[in-house]
């Protein structure tokens, strides 16, 4: 069974099961409030399906894949991912030059992150540093995209005719405060608001399509996905 769409569990009909993006089913002990999106900082009590231990997690961390703290330590090491890259000679040479220069200088900054001595030790440690810095930066960008998505969803739910009327903005700010906490809402909302307005407008263009047609399209997409999967895994043992 596919994980229900986000909307299904963020609404009041949340029930007591929660699917994070991993497709894993988490049992929720209590839902004391209405959760309005996966960027939510709200904490829920969860029961780990693997070890049965209870733990508390924010919706956001659950979706970020941090999962059960008891199981996390057990798999932490094996979860380190080895990435094998073969750089072309041109890049190998450039990399060596960069590392040589900055290791002599003893300091290096990339995307607002400072390298330490260990990062500047070799081409490999340096590559790890720039890759992790880039991932941190991209992940911060992702968080902001999720915040924009969240506000755009609230706008869509609350606006009647005019998305830009002050009441809608007040309501959305209220949701942001509930979901992210006061500090985060105060820090981000003003900058995100115009972006969320245009995001909502963009998505509304799609939503205006006849739901019947969208449903037919959805079935077709699912059919295509299934056909592609079958094509890629044509082993008799994996047949359902």
| Interaction site with Zn ion (CB under 5 A) | 48, 50-51, 68, 70-71
Minimal distance, residue 28 CB to Zn ion, in Å: 15
Contact 172, 135 (CB under 8 A): no
DSSP string, 135-185: HHHHHHHHHHHHHHHHHHHHHHHH-SS-TTSHHHHHHHHHHHHHHH-HHHH
Of 48 and 196, nearer to Zn ion (C-beta) is 48
Of 75 and 230, nearer to Zn ion (C-beta) is 75
Of 16 and 117, nearer to Zn ion (C-beta) is 16
Minimal distance, residue 52 CB to Zn ion, in Å: 7
Measured in residues, the chain has a length of: 240
Q: Which of 77, 136, 62, 125 is nearest to 99 (CA)?
A: 125
Of 6 and 71, nearer to Zn ion (C-beta) is 71
Minimal distance, residue 3 CB to Zn ion, in Å: 19
Of 68 and 152, nearer to Zn ion (C-beta) is 68
Minimal distance, residue 68 CB to Zn ion, in Å: 3
CA 5-149-143 angle, to 5 degrees, is 100
Phi, psi of 46 (to 5 degrees): -120, 155
Minimal distance, residue 73 CB to Zn ion, in Å: 10
Buried b (16+ CB within 10 A) or exposed e, 64-95: beebbeeeeeeeeeeeeeeeeeeeeeeeeeeb
């Amino acid at each position: 069974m596919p994980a229900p769409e986000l909307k299904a569990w963020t609404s009041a009909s949340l029930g007591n099961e929660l699917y994070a993006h991993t497709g894993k089913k988490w049992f929720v002990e209590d839902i004391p409030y209405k959760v309005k999106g996966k960027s939510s900082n709200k904490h829920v009590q969860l029961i780990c399906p693997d070890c049965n231990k209870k733990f508390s997690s924010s919706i956001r961390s659950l979706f970020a894949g941090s999962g059960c703290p008891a199981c996390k330590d057990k798999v932490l090491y094996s979860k380190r991912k080895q990435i094998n890259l073969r750089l072309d000679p041109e890049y190998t040479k450039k990399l060596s030059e960069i590392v040589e220069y900055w290791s002599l200088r003893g300091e290096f900054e990339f995307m607002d992150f400072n390298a330490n001595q260990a990062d500047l030790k070799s081409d490999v440690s340096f590559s790890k540093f720039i890759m992790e810095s880039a991932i941190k930066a991209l992940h911060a960008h992702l968080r902001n995209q999720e915040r924009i998505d969240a506000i755009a969803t609230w706008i869509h739910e609350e606006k009647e005719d005019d998305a830009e009327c002050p009441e809608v903005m007040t309501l959305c700010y209220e949701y942001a405060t509930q979901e992210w906490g006061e500090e985060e809402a105060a820090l981000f909302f003003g900058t995100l608001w115009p972006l969320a307005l245009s995001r909502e407008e963009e998505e509304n263009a799609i939503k205006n399509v006849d739901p019947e047609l969208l449903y037919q399209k959805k079935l077709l997409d699912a059919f295509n996905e299934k056909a592609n999967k079958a094509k890629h895994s044509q082993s008799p043992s994996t047949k359902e």
